[in-house]
Each structure stands twice: as structure tokens, then as C-alpha cells.
Structure 1
Amino acid sequence: MKILSCTSPGEFDYLEEDNPMLTEGRAIVKIKKVGVCGTDLHAFEGTQPFFSYPRILGHELAGEVVEIGESKDISKGDWITVIPYFSCGICVACRNGKPNCCQKISVFGVHEDGGMREYVSLPVSSLVKRKGLSLEQLAVAEPFAIGAHGVRRAGVKPGQFVLVIGAGPIGLGVMEFARIAGAQVIAMDINEKRLEFCRDVWNIPHVVKAGKSAYDMIQEITNGDFCDAVIDATGSLAAINQGFQYIAHGGAYVLVGLQKGEIAFSHPEFHKREATLMSSRNATREDFDQVLDAMASGQLSVENYITHKVKFDQVKDDFQSWLNPETGVIKALVEV
């Protein structure tokens, strides 16, 4: 069985490994499609927190169940996607229905070896199927679930202004679910091509280039109210720190993006707004179900989201280029 391992920052190697064996409570899945996300790219360049090497990447997965024990919902031959966050089930977060931020969480492809290989053994409880969806749709369910979770954390309501900072794959997912929630979405990025994509392809009504004029533009768009929710999807320390100024009085700031440094903001400005600051980590089964429902109903399309497709043997050569936004990559998809 061929696997692709990130051996150290900036280095990949193809390895051989025996096929996994079926054990109780698990299934053997033949991986068909793997999405490449910011976590993978940051791991490759050595800037991803919670990461160690060597590591097999891959947590945005679609595959076919080839072996499975007793299960009410999943059968051999089913096409599935994977909830790649493995929780302990007993810690305070798990007891309170938040397995996405389990104290002992192990994320497939981050804390343990992931799915950039032909076959994997996975807990049956982590598998999700939805009839009628393609392998491509299933492969990108996870990044959209991240977006859905961030919007749910923000408590977005119809008619509210929601500023999404960062127009990468996660940011686009946030925008889509803010739109589905009925919000007026504002996209912000430093990259002109991504803003063009938001406006011309993603049909975002308001796009703002980050910089000196951004504050005035957002003030004008919102008629001076600013944003009921600001959601960062960049992981950039500068962007996160600047985002505080765009929060409306009574508004919320949700950090989906993750970075290693310490954030800083004016306490008086934050306090007078009675603003809420929160993080949004991973996603839950509820978020996955919302994504798959939206795909099945036609509310959510992935046609323009997947911009690059490569065969498994091409990944090693093409991966580094996806770090460059100028290539126009939104979502790269690997066919195993």
C-alpha cells in the first residue's frame, strides 16, 4: 500500500505499508478523494500548531467502505466522508456535547497519521454517508463543516452584517453558511484575485481589500453600524488584531483561523461594545449533517470550489505550488 508522508517541513516521501486489518468498532475504507486544506499547507511549511513530524497528512476524505463489522447505518460498499476528530467521550467537553474540542482530541492527519494513502482503518462512529452525493462533494464536506460551525458559534441571524476575513477555502465556507443563514456577507482579503472570485464567482455582495481604507468602506456598507459578527479565517496575527475594530456594539468576534502568537486589542474599545470573543474549533456531526443537507438540497455547490485536481503520484511535485495564492488555488483535490 502506497502512502505519502510529510517527513519534515518542506519534505515529502512515498512509503509502503501493509493494508490495515479490521478490528472491532472500526471499518476499512478505500480512500478515493482527499482534499488539501490550510492545515496541510501550514504543516508542510512548518507553521501549524499542534503538529509533529513525520506525519501522513489528509483529513478531508471521501472513500468506499470495503470491510465493516456490525453497524446499523453504514454498510460495505457505501460512499462516506469522515469526521476526523477523534474524542475521548469522557472529558468535560465531551460530557457537554462538544467533542470537537475534547481535552484529549486526536485529529486524523494532524495528531495522528491521516488519509493520504490507499486504505485506512477508521472508527465506524466517525463515518458519515449521504445517498446521492458524489465523492467530490463528500471529500469537501469537512472544510464546509468548519465554516458551518463558525457561523453557528456566531449566532448569525437573517439580515445581519457578517464580515469574513480571509477568502481562502475555509473563509468561503464561512461565507456560504452565513449566506444560508440569511446574513449580508462582506468578504475581506489582501489578495485581489480572491476578492474577484468572491464577487464574480461566489456572488458575495460586498468585497473589501484589507488595508487603510477598509475601516471606512465597512462603515459605509453597514451605515455606520459595523458588523454583527466578524469571523476570522486567516490565522494571520495582524488580520486577527485588526479585526476587532470592525465589531458592532453588541457584536461577536469568532476566531476560526489559528495562529501561534498572542492577540492584542484595546480593552476600552472592546468593553464599550459589550462584544463577545470566542474561538471556533473543528466541527460536530450536527455541522456535517447541515453541510450534507445543503449539498443534497442544492443550496451548496462545490463546482467552483474545487479548482485543482491531481492524481496521487502528482502530489509530491505540485503541493508546494498550492502555498502560493497567485496560482488561483481554492481547493485542491487528490485522487488516490
Structure 2
Amino acid sequence: MKSLICIAPGQFEYRDKEQPQPAPGQALIRIRRIGVCGTDLHAFEGTQPFFTYPRILGHELAGELVDTGGAVGFEKGETVSFIPYFNCGTCIACRNGKPNCCTNIKVCGVHVDGGMVEYLAVPADKLLHGEELGFDALALVEPLAIGAHGLRRAGVEAGEFVLVVGAGPIGLGIIALANIAGAQVIALDVNEHRLSFCRNKLGVQYTINGAQEDVVARLQAITNGDMPTVVVDATGNGKAINNAFQYMAHGARYVLVGLQKGDISFPHPEFHKREATLMSSRNATREDFEHVIRCIRNQQIDPLTFITHTVPFKATKDQFAGWLDPANGVIKAMVAID
């Protein structure tokens, strides 16, 4: 079978591999769609933490089930996805119902080889039914689940102001799901194309261009001086993460969904007087995946709106680098394997 391997930052190579033979407890999936996410892009450019090379990227996946691996309720030939975070089941996090931050976690396409292949063996207990979704929509459940988990961590309530910093694919998912939760969403980015997408495709009333506007003044005007009670970073940019501490209301919650390699720095007195809450949000749980699938099936969110570029698997190597250039207007790139 064909595979696409990131052998070093900036370098891809197609290689032939043996089709995997699933071990006991593993299911075998014929991969049909691969969503390209920020993790993949950052790995390609060499800025992704927790990463070693060579590595087969890809964890936003949908395909056809070839071998159920004994998974109850699944049938060969059905459309499936899976939860791409392989946890140990025995560590402190797993015992406390947080497999998404298992101490020994192996994320597909990050710690272990991922889905830029024709066939992939995965733990059978991670399978997700396709629920009549098409391959494209099903491949985008994972990035939307990332956003759903971050919002659940924040405990978003209807009517409150939620500031989402970063309107890339993860940020757009957070925005869409915050809308569903009834929040008053504010989108902050420096890319006017993405802010326009927020307004025109997601119906966001409040957008701020951080490169052109006084962010604090605009937030004060929008919130009648209160500032947002929830701030979510979806940039993974150190400067943006540190700047956002000043955007918090008193009593606010700040959730870091984006990830960067550097330190976080903020003035303790300002943080303390707000009695603010800072939390990270890592991966997602089955509960988040199921919530997203329900939202898609109920037509509350259309993931296909996010797809701006679709390429065949054989063209991915040549086109991948271009998706890093903001001038190309990429929201979400999708790789199709026929």
C-alpha cells in the first residue's frame, strides 16, 4: 500500500508499505479521507511539540471498516471514524475518566504513525460509527471535538461573551459550537479573510482584526465594559496567548486549546485580582465526539463549509507546503483516497 511519510521538517516522501495485519483487538480501516490540521502543518514546518521524525501524519480520518477487530455493534463495510488518542487505561488520568490526557498517550499521527496511508489498524474500542455522515463530514468530527472539549472545560453558558482568539480550523469549530451553546461569540484574528468567513459563513456578529484595531477598546465596547467571561486561545501563538490575559473579565475562564513550545507569562496581580481561572484543554473524549456527531446530524453545524481545498492523495506531497501560506486562503484542506 502507498504511504506518505514526513521524513524531516519540510520533506515528504511516498513509500510502499505492507498492508497492516491487525493484532487481536485491532480494527482495520481503509482510509478514504484525511483532514489536514494545524498539528500536521506545524509538524511539517518543524514547530510541533511532542514530535519526532520520520512520521506518517494524519489523525482526522474517515474510511471503510475492513475488519471489526471484535468491536461490538460494528459491521464490515460500514463507514467509520475513530478516536485517535490511544490511552493506557491504567494511569491516574485514565482512572479518573480523563483518557484524553493519559500519561502514556499515543496520538495517532503524532506519537505513532497516522492515517496518510491506504489502510490503518487502530484499537477496536476507539471506533466511531459513521452515523450516515459522508466521508468529508466524518473526517472533520475530530477537530470539532477538540473545540467541543475546550468549551466543555470552560463550562460555557448561554448569553455570556466568549472570545475565541484565532479563526483557523480549530477556532472556527469552537466558534460554531459556542454559537450552538447560545454564547455571544467574538472572533479575534489578524487575517481578514478568516474574519470575513466568520461573519458570512458562521453568522458571527462581533469580529476584531487584531492587526488593525485596539483589541481592548473594542472588547470593552462590545461587552459594555465587562470584558469576555470566557477566553479561548486557538492560535498556539505565544504572543497571542500572553496578550489574551488582558482580555479577561473579572471571574473569567481562560482555556488554552492551542499549543506552543514557549513559556506563558502574565502579571500575577492582574490575574489574581480577577480571581481568574486558567486551564488547558487537550484532545477530546468520546462524549465530545458524540456531541459533535449529534450537532452535525441535527444540521446545527455543517463541517463541509470549512473545506476550501480538496486534493487526491497522490498530489498531497506537492501541494502540502502551499497550505502554510495564508495568501492561499486555506481554511481546511482535505485529502481524498479513492
Give the TM-score band, short-chain normalised. over 0.9
Amino acid at match of 2:297: A
Q: Which moves more between the two structures, 215-224 or 127-136?
A: 127-136
Structure 1 segment 124-163 matched on structure 2, within 5 A = 124-163=124-163
One-letter amino acid of the counterpart of residue 22, structure 1 = P
Structure 1 equivalent of residue 35 of structure 2: 35
Q: Secondary structure at the match of 2:303?
A: coil
How many Å apart are 1:33 and its aligned residue?
Answer: 0.2
Aligned partners of 2:159 and 2:183 also within 8 Å: yes
**1:251 equivalent in alignment to 2:252:** yes
Partner amino acid for 1:115?
Answer: G
1:316 aligns with 2:290: no
CA contact (8 A) 1:32 1:62 kept: yes
Q: CA deviation at 1:68?
A: 2.3
- Residue identity in the other structure for 2:224: N
Counterpart of 2:330 in structure 1: which amino acid?
A: V
Match of 2:331 in 1: 330
Distance (Å, rounded) in 1 between the aligned partners of 2:225 and 2:307: 36
Contact 1:309 1:335 in 2 (8 A): yes
8 Å CA contact 1:3, 1:116 repeated in 2: yes
Q: Deviations over 1:134-193 (max 9, x none)?
A: 111110000000000010011100000000000000000111111111100000001111
Deviations 1:271-305 (A, max 9, x none): 01000000000000000000000011101102311
CA distance in 2, matches of 1:306, 1:147: 17
After superposition, what is the alpha-carbon deviation per residue over 1:19-63, rounded to whole angstroms, capped at 9, x for unaligned? 111321111110000000000000000000000000000000001
Residues 199, 205 of structure 1: 8 Å contact kept: yes
Aligned match of 1:119: 119
Secondary structure of residue in 1 paired with 2:261: coil
Query: Quick check: 2:34–2:335 contact (8 Å CA) kept in 1?
Result: yes
Q: Is the 8 A contact 2:78 2:130 kept in 1?
A: no
Aligned-partner residue type, residue 62 of structure 2: A
Kindly state the Cα deviation for residue 75 of structure 1 after the two structures are TM-superposed.
Answer: 1.2
Output aligned runs, 1:1-336, within 5 Å.
1-211=1-211, 213-336=214-337
- Amino acid of the structure 1 residue aligned with 2:317: K
Tell me the secondary structure at the aligned position of residue 229 of structure 2: strand
Which 10-residue stretch deviates more, 300-309 or 111-120? 300-309
TM-score normalised over the length of structure 2 = 0.98
Q: Percent of aligned pairs with the same residue?
A: 57
Cα distance in 2 between the residues matched to 1:308 and 1:243:
31
Aligned-residue offset at 1:202: 1.8
What secondary structure does 2:250 align onto? strand
CA distance in 1, matches of 2:209, 2:60: 29
Say whether the 8 Å CA contact 2:231–2:254 is kept in structure 1. Answer: yes
Q: How many aligned residue pairs are there?
A: 336
Amino acid at match of 2:124: V
Q: Is the 8 A contact 1:22 1:68 kept in 2?
A: no
3-state DSSP of counterpart to 1:304: helix
Give me the TM-score of the superposition, normalised by structure 1: 0.99
Q: In structure 1, what residue type is equivalent to 2:42?
A: H
Change (3 A) 1:3 1:76: same
CA distance, structure 1, for counterparts of residue 149 and residue 135 of structure 2 = 22
Instruction: Please say which of residues 165-174 and 130-139 is displaced more in the overlay.
Output: 130-139
Structure 1 69/40 Cα, relative in aligned 2: closer, same or farther at 3 Å? closer
Distance 1:4 1:273 in 2: 48
Which portions of structure 1, spanning 4 or more consecutive aligned residues, are displaced by more than 4 angstroms? none
Question: Does the Cα contact within 8 Å between 1:230 and 1:243 map onto a contact in 2?
Answer: yes
Which sections of structure 2, spanning at least 5 residues, go unmatched? Answer: none
The letter of the residue matching 1:325 is P
Structure 1 CA distance for aligned equivalents of residues 240 and 295 of structure 2: 30
CA positional deviation for 1:236:
0.5
**Native 8 Å contact 2:136 2:304 kept in 1:** no
- CA deviation string 1:9-28 (max 9, x = no partner): 00000000111113211111
Contiguous gaps of at least 5 residues in structure 1: none
